[in-house]
Chains A and B, each alone.
Chain A
Amino acid sequence: MRLTLKHLLCLCLGIVASAALSEEFNEELDLRPLPDGKVAAWFSFSTLLKGATPRDTKTLGAEDESQLYTLFPLALGQILREYAVTELHLTLNAGKWNYDRWGYPDESGVGTGAELWAWMGENGPVSVDSRWRGLRNALAGLFCASLGSLDEQRTTSPVLTFQPEGFLPNRTASYQLRHATLPSEHVCTENLTPFLKLLPCKSLSGIASLLNPHMLLDADWHGLGVHVRYVEGAGVELRLASQAVLDPVRISREKRRDWSFSALFDRRIEQACPVARSSVIRVWLPQNETYAIIPSPTAMDSTYATYVVSEVEKPLDVAIRWPEEQNFEYPTAIKPQTHISVHRTLQGASQHAGRLALSVTNNHDTELQAGYLETLPWLLQFYLHTLHAEIDGVRRDDLVKLISYTPPLPHVQPALLQAIVTLPPKRTMQLTMDVVKPFLAYTEHPPDAQRGWDLPPAVFVPFASQNGSQAGSYPQQSAVCSTRMYTPVLLVDLATPDFSMPYNVIIMSCTLIALIFGMVFNLLTRRFVVVRVDEKAP
């Protein structure tokens, strides 16, 4: 109850420290035309809490310092401090990112549905798992997403694939990763609205004013991301990102791929965000084509045009036109835009067994290696000994090096498989494994049980092949591109019971018992009478 001397001292120290503490907000928009006529938009809003450090796990039991924020959203800051989260990544995506046509995304987290992963320090008075549970529920409340259901049955710790993107302060404590995906999460306005409220300028001024729910949620693909990391020497960085793949050809009446802010977002930038330190729009310019871009950008080179929102005339409505093109002709064949292409399917029609098949193509001229991560919920159990790799019909199991495997525990934990596959140039590898589908308990089925279960995406991390020294060990981000590639989600059809069954069973067994009872009772209490038939009767 009492405000001790220690607290007072902390308060005083806090006041001294506050002089150095300040916050910085930067916003950025990247617009990139894609080969198939679509436009990829990438919004990034980053807030830097200068000089701040993530909460030390050991202080969890004690009184926390006051949280006085200017630009940093208080609602998120509270969650981060309450659960002492050092690094946090939450993505909410809808649709299937088409790597072959769209290339690598600006944000690598494009797995369908919700994905949450966090690095948290150990050795505190509160365990990592209980903080992970609290974090899930707090974020579920903040973003109106069903993240609360990312329970132990979906949580894994794939340390090799999800390395920290920031710095983990060395406080003589080790750190743990928690990762979970919820592919069946539907991302919609109820998630976007709280997301926009975390921005200092909401969606009322600056670049964020383009985030119009009507157009954004109508896009071919759209996603939200919340990324918190600690940058050593700088502070805690929060980056709120939003990506969308918009289709101007579909929107326009003349089937042209010309686009402008008002066409894509149905909004223009009317006013600059007054608290943004920088506010930059970059438009990637078409190559080897005739085009016109208005208004004239602040700076321009051969690859992109840059607009500084605070300097250009407002309202700002950037537009690109292809004047020579009458209507856009969809290219019939687009060269794959990424190093590898992955397709994953679930084969077999039965509700008991099946086969998971992946076909991984190396589009590159040199040999590539890729980290392969599969986190399967226990409702699909695979046999590790049936994992085979084939190239052109020839079995090549030597190309798959198993690094780690955690078997699933029914009703408790998912399976985790991490491996490295070596991909010969311009070849396609077929990876197969047999799976069985277990029976679920009556209460484990979701309300829409007949729909089936979504399997989380597999993740591939391609990196250049390395010789000798590091073979067998996992390379630390020394990749051609360290970006993660997510396969589309799969739908598993499990045996679903008839949910009115319990009552039917009750009725059925009761009827049988009543019949038997009636018969026995009748026999026991029946009045037996011998009727003598008169022999003299005719």
Chain B
Amino acid sequence: METLSKAALAFESPLTRRSIIASYFLVILLALPLWWNTTSIERQALPISRVSAQTGRELLFPVHVAVNTSASDINAGVLAQEVQRYVNRNEDFTRDGLELRVSSDAATAKDYQVNVRFGTHDPVVVGREVTVEVPPEHASVAAMRVADTLATLLAPYSSLKSLATASHAERVVSYSPRYRLAFTLLNEDAAAGNAALSWDVRGALSAQLSPFLERLSVLHNFTIESQVQYHGPLAFEPRGLQVAEKTQYGLTPEDLTVFVNSAEWMLSSSVSNDPVLHFIAFIPSSKHTPLRILDNNGIPTASSAFMLPQWGGIVIYNAETIGVARTLATRPLDNIFATFRQQLSALLGVPELPAHVQARSPGVSDWQLDALIRRRAAENTAGAQETLQSILRLVAQIGDMPVGEDVRGDVEDALAALDKTYSSAPSSAVEALTFASKAQVVASRAFFNPGMLALLYFPAEHKWAVYAPLFASVSAPLLASVIREFLAWKKERAAKKARSEQRQKVD
């Protein structure tokens, strides 16, 4: 023992050795920030507080309704106050995002006007005016009647039973600034007879659809396309029925859900990403004529048209005279396109006029259009808010997801557009809609940013596969040396302690 310690070399000292080992760890420690910096994923800070501030924020449209009672001897001011009281009690208005102010002031161009007079007729709508008639003996109910009429006209989505149902909400297509309308004349089998080889689609479009589309041009742009198909077989065999000693063919409600044979019918449109609404005039082959739609009990219904939610509409045209027509006759064509217009209107979410309200002129009234614009603006605002929150949730959930400069820019743009939506809502609903749809578009662009997918191509497992061969093998001697030194140090201490005890004993 004594001889060995004397034999220690001059450069041998436990301190040097330990500092060498420590310096290795020091280098590793110092290199860590560099490693972290070079391998970290770019994650821009998103404006979390501004996005969460959006929750609970609702779009409110202040609307002024002027009450005009010049045709009757009712006090306009009193009536207005009474109507306001009823309105404040009715939650349908706030549910549809309305802040209604009723007064007897004169109406400006963008205000609504209610004319109250004596009579027994149903309310009549002209422009932004509605004329409500009250029987003279029931003048006291005038306020309630006016308030009810206003509710069904201004807040149709909450007050009208037919629009408030869930199935209605599922039917309406999601908002897009542009839709493609694809009209198809589909013959089940033109070679087997009972077919129309062409149709005057331009005439029908200009007669039935153009005024409607023009009316809605504030909300959407439309691209129109049409085609004729001569062989569009069904994917199933319609059920045969005997009705009044005649064979008819029926489509059960289940059949309607699989009616569109997308494998055989060339309906898809490949050149743009705009949503497509399909409208199909289906002419069954002579083998399947007449083709009727059955109700749940298997009884043929009078209707020959049905809608597929968010997809389009189908009209079955059972030709009365079986044969091959060069061109589809004008009268059935007009009927078909009138049905298409109704289906399109339902798909776009245009509210119906309440059953008891008459319109002076055909087409979509200002009340309906305004309600639709407010509805779409509110939808887009809510959609944009939801998308922004989803982005935040997603980014928080997946730690390795890169968030680039463009994503942050889009999120900020969407927030700016949302702010503009709120600030423009009091002055113009159309402007609010424009900003809201911009916010929605930008927010979903941020959500679907391809840069956020980088994670998919270089997952953490691959990183470990690359690191492990080097770091695992390098760390083995490093750790071993630390353990060895630690043991040696302990042993040394124990030896020193033993020595001092021995010395004490000796003393």
Are A and B interaction partners?
yes
**Closest CB pairs A-B (n = 4):** A514-B473, A510-B469, A205-B191, A74-B227
Q: How far is the CA of A67 from the CA of B469 in the complex (A)?
A: 62
B470 in complex: contacting residue of A68, A197, A514, CB < 8 Å:
A514
Q: Contact flags (1/0) for B453-477 with A, using CB distance below 8 Å?
A: 0000000000001100110011001
Q: Show 25 residue pairs from A and B whose CB-CB distance is below 8 angstroms, ordered by the A residue.
A: A1-B221, A1-B434, A64-B223, A66-B225, A67-B225, A67-B226, A68-B202, A68-B225, A75-B266, A75-B269, A75-B270, A200-B228, A204-B189, A204-B233, A274-B191, A274-B324, A275-B190, A510-B473, A514-B473, A518-B473, A518-B474, A525-B20, A525-B481, A527-B17, A532-B3
Return B192 CB to nearest CB of chain A, in Å.
7
Q: Are B481 and A15 in contact (CB under 8 A)?
A: no
Return B191 CB to nearest CB of chain A, in Å.
4
Question: Given A1-B217, A530-B7 in contact, is the A274-B474 Cβ separation under 8 Å?
Answer: no
Q: Are B227 and A272 in contact (CB under 8 A)?
A: no
Q: Are B228 and A70 in contact (CB under 8 A)?
A: yes
Q: Within 8 Å of chain A (Cβ to Cβ): is B238? A: no
Which B residues are in CB contact (< 8 Å) with A528?
9, 11-12
Q: Closest residue of chain A to B473, judged by CB?
A: A514
Q: Contact flags (1/0) for A195-211 with B, using CB distance below 8 Å?
A: 00110111011100000
Which A residues are in CB contact (< 8 Å) with B28?
none
Q: Are A138 and B228 in contact (CB under 8 A)?
A: no
Q: How far is the CA of A400 from the CA of B254 in the complex (A)?
A: 72
Q: Contact flags (1/0) for B190-219 with A, using CB distance below 8 Å?
A: 111001011001110110001001100111
Identify which of residues 209-266 in chain B touch chain A, using a CB-to-CB cut-off of 8 Å.
210, 213-214, 217-219, 221, 223-231, 233, 264, 266
Q: How far is the CA of A165 from the CA of B477 in the complex (A)?
A: 76
Which A residues are in CB contact (< 8 Å) with B355?
none
A8, A503, A530: most-surrounded residue (chain B CB, <10 A): A530
Q: Are B3 and A66 in contact (CB under 8 A)?
A: no
Which A residues are in CB contact (< 8 Å) with B189?
204
Q: Contact flags (1/0) for B465-507 with A, using CB distance below 8 Å?
A: 1100110011001100100000000000000000000000000
Interface size class of A (residues with CB under 8 A): 35 or more
B182, B189, B324, B473: most-surrounded residue (chain A CB, <10 A): B473
B226 in complex: contacting residue of A64, A69, A204, A506, CB < 8 Å:
A69
Q: Contact flags (1/0) for A12-48 with B, using CB distance below 8 Å?
A: 0011001000000000000000000000000000000
Interface size class of B (residues with CB under 8 A): 35 or more
Q: Are A201 and B474 in contact (CB under 8 A)?
A: no
Q: Within 8 Å of chain B (Cβ to Cβ): is A2? A: yes
Q: Closest residue of chain B to A23, judged by CB?
A: B198
Identify which of residues 1-23 in chain B touch chain A, using a CB-to-CB cut-off of 8 Å.
3-4, 7-9, 11-12, 17, 20-21
B227 in complex: contacting residue of A73, A142, A527, A530, CB < 8 Å:
A73
Q: Within 8 Å of chain A (Cβ to Cβ): is B268? A: yes
Q: How far is the CA of A206 from the CA of B189 in the complex (A)?
A: 13
Q: Within 8 Å of chain A (Cβ to Cβ): is B448? A: no
Return B188 CB to nearest CB of chain A, in Å.
11
Q: Closest residue of chain B to A2, judged by CB?
A: B217
Q: Closest residue of chain B to A79, judged by CB?
A: B271
Q: Are A70 and B227 in contact (CB under 8 A)?
A: yes
In the complex, the number of residue pairs spanning A and B with C-beta atoms less than 8 Å apart equals: 148
Q: Are A521 and B272 in contact (CB under 8 A)?
A: no
Q: Within 8 Å of chain B (Cβ to Cβ): is A481? A: no
A74 in complex: contacting residue of B3, B219, B225, CB < 8 Å:
B225
Return B452 CB to nearest CB of chain A, in Å.
22
Q: Closest residue of chain B to A19, judged by CB?
A: B202
Which A residues are in CB contact (< 8 Å) with B218?
1-2
Question: Given A1-B218, A274-B195 in contact, is the A69-B227 Cβ separation under 8 Å?
Answer: yes
Identify which of residues 122-141 in chain A touch chain B, using a CB-to-CB cut-off of 8 Å.
138, 141
Q: Within 8 Å of chain A (Cβ to Cβ): is B177? A: yes
Task: Give me the interface of B with A, judged by CB distance under 8 Å.
Answer: 3-4, 7-9, 11-12, 17, 20-21, 24, 177, 182, 189-192, 195, 197-198, 201-203, 205-206, 210, 213-214, 217-219, 221, 223-231, 233, 264, 266, 268-272, 324, 434, 465-466, 469-470, 473-474, 477-478, 481
Which A residues are in CB contact (< 8 Å) with B21?
525
Q: Are B224 and A66 in contact (CB under 8 A)?
A: yes
Q: Within 8 Å of chain B (Cβ to Cβ): is A513? A: yes
Q: Contact flags (1/0) for A503-533 with B, using CB distance below 8 Å?
A: 1001100110110011001101101111110
A521 in complex: contacting residue of B24, B190, B201, B230, CB < 8 Å:
B24
Q: How far is the CA of A181 from the CA of B38 in the complex (A)?
A: 43
Identify which of residues 471-519 in chain A touch chain B, using a CB-to-CB cut-off of 8 Å.
503, 506-507, 510-511, 513-514, 517-518
Q: Within 8 Å of chain B (Cβ to Cβ): is A406? A: no
Q: Within 8 Å of chain B (Cβ to Cβ): is A260? A: no
Return B264 CB to nearest CB of chain A, in Å.
8
Q: Closest residue of chain B to A21, judged by CB?
A: B202
Q: Are B271 and A521 in contact (CB under 8 A)?
A: no
Q: How far is the CA of A481 from the CA of B84 in the complex (A)?
A: 88
Q: Closest residue of chain B to A4, judged by CB?
A: B217
Q: How far is the CA of A528 from the CA of B12 in the complex (A)?
A: 7
Q: Within 8 Å of chain B (Cβ to Cβ): is A450? A: no
Return B140 CB to nearest CB of chain A, in Å.
46
Return A532 CB to nearest CB of chain B, in Å.
6
Return B31 CB to nearest CB of chain A, in Å.
14
Q: Within 8 Å of chain B (Cβ to Cβ): is A436? A: no
Q: How far is the CA of A242 from the CA of B93 in the complex (A)?
A: 64
Which B residues are in CB contact (< 8 Å) with A71?
228
Which A residues are in CB contact (< 8 Å) with B481?
521, 525
Q: Are A79 and B20 in contact (CB under 8 A)?
A: no
Q: Within 8 Å of chain B (Cβ to Cβ): is A271? A: yes
Q: Within 8 Å of chain B (Cβ to Cβ): is A292? A: no
B7 in complex: contacting residue of A198, A200, A531, CB < 8 Å:
A531
Which A residues are in CB contact (< 8 Å) with B24?
521
Return A452 CB to nearest CB of chain B, in Å.
28
Q: Within 8 Å of chain B (Cβ to Cβ): is A402? A: no
Q: Contact flags (1/0) for A172-198 with B, using CB distance below 8 Å?
A: 000000000000000000000000011
Which A residues are in CB contact (< 8 Å) with B233?
204
Which B residues are in CB contact (< 8 Å) with A67?
224-226
B191, B192, B271: most-surrounded residue (chain A CB, <10 A): B271
Q: Are A521 and B4 in contact (CB under 8 A)?
A: no
Return B94 CB to nearest CB of chain A, in Å.
29
Q: Are A78 and B3 in contact (CB under 8 A)?
A: no
Which A residues are in CB contact (< 8 Å) with B182?
74
Which A residues are in CB contact (< 8 Å) with B478?
521
Q: Within 8 Å of chain B (Cβ to Cβ): is A231? A: no
Which B residues are in CB contact (< 8 Å) with A18?
202
Which B residues are in CB contact (< 8 Å) with A234?
none
Q: Within 8 Å of chain B (Cβ to Cβ): is A333? A: no
Question: Given A67-B225, A78-B270, A518-B477 in contact, is the A271-B231 Cβ separation under 8 Å?
Answer: no
Which B residues are in CB contact (< 8 Å) with A202?
230-231, 264
Q: Are B191 and A271 in contact (CB under 8 A)?
A: yes
